[in-house]
Amino acid sequence: MSGVYDNQADIYLDARPTYPADWYSKLAALSHRHNLAWDAGTGNGQAAIGIAEHYERVVATDVSETMLNLGKPHPKVTYHHTPPSMTEDEMVDLIGGGENSVDLITVATAVHWFDLPKFYAIANRLLRKPGGIIAVWSYNTDMVVSPEFDSVMTRFNAETMPYCKFPESQYFLDGYKTLPFPFESVGLGSEGKPIELEMKKTVSFEGFLRMLRSWSAVGAAKEKGVDLLSDDVVKELETAWGGYELVRTIVYKTFMLAGTVR
C-alpha cells in the first residue's frame, strides 16, 4: 500500500474511524495464548495499540515508512518497516518468535493491498498450532448518516467508481466476500461469508470532508484532471449534512474474517 496514502498520511489517519475495543477482546478470547501478536499493515498502529491490551508483545509492520513515522508509542509495541522485497524467511525471522509462535495476526483495512499468497504462506508458518488466530477486517464506502445525506453520498460514490484504479479495491468494495481466506472458521466469518459489523465515528462535516479527500479514488481522479470534490459537490454534501460545523455520527458498515490454520 506504500504510496497510496503516503502523500497525505496525516489527513488519512486523522479522518478515519476508530476500531471498537470489544473487537480486540473477542479475538483475544479466541486465541489459546497471549504471548505474541503481529499487526500487519499497521499504519500508525491503531490496531496494534488495541491488541497490546491483551498480548504481552505486539510486532507492528508496514511497507510505508511515512505511516510508521506516525506510529503511536506503546511499551508493548515494536514497529518495523517491511518493504515488499523482504522474503518469507526474512519476515518470519523479523516477527521474533519464529515459526509456530504467533498467537494472533491482525490486518486492519489493509489485507486487500497485500500479496495474498505470500502473506498467507507467512501467516501459516507463524501462527501457533493449535490456537493461533488470524483476523482481517475493513470497511468501504457503505455508511449511514441520514436519509437525505445518504442519497447524496450514493451519487458521489457512483462518481468515484471509475477512479478506483487499484484492482485490489474490488475486495473491499465487495465487502471481502470475494477475498481469498484459506483458514478454518472460528465463528467470526469464513471465506466468502464475512461477518458484518458496525463502526461509528462522530465528526463535523469538516472532518468528514477531510476523510473524503483522503480516498484513493479522489486522488486518482485528480491525477487525471478531474475534481470529484468541486465547490458545487462540496456544497451539495454540506447542505445535505446540515452545515459545516454540525456534528453527526457516521455508521460505517464493516466486515471481518477470522480463522485458524486448517
Per-residue DSSP letter, 128: -
User: Is the pTM higher than 0.85?
Assistant: yes
Question: In terms of pLDDT, which residue wins out, 102 or 210?
Answer: 102
Assign 207 a pLDDT band (cuts: 50, 70, 90).
confident
Give residue 42's pLDDT: 95
The stretch 87-110 carries a mean pLDDT of 94
5 pLDDT above the threshold of 50: no
Please write the tens of the pLDDT for every residue from 12-67: 555 578 899 999 999 999 999 999 999 999 998 999 999 999 999 999 999 999 98
Contacts of 224-229 with C-beta under 8 Å, sequence gap 24+, read 224/163, 226/163, 228/156, 228/159, 228/160, 228/163
**Residue carrying C-alpha cell 457516521:** 250
Question: In terms of pLDDT, which residue wins out, 118 or 214?
Answer: 118
E strands within the chain?
36-40, 57-62, 77-81, 104-108, 133-144, 184-185, 195-204, 247-260
Give residue 164's pLDDT: 77
| Distance, CA of 97 to CA of 149 (rounded, Å) | 49
Assign 1 a pLDDT band (cuts: 50, 70, 90).
very low
- CB atoms under 10 Å from CB of 167, counted, come to 8
| Distance, CA of 72 to CA of 50 (rounded, Å) | 11
8 pLDDT above the threshold of 80: no
Cis status, amide bond into 130, omega within 30 of 0: yes
Name the amino acid, one letter, at 48: A
Name the amino acid, one letter, at 174: D
Give residue 214's pLDDT: 82
Give residue 211's pLDDT: 85
Instruction: State the pairing for strand pair 36-40/104-108.
Output: parallel
Please write the tens of the pLDDT for every residue from 82-91: 999 999 999 9
Assign 180 a pLDDT band (cuts: 50, 70, 90).
very high
| Distance, CA of 204 to CA of 253 (rounded, Å) | 19
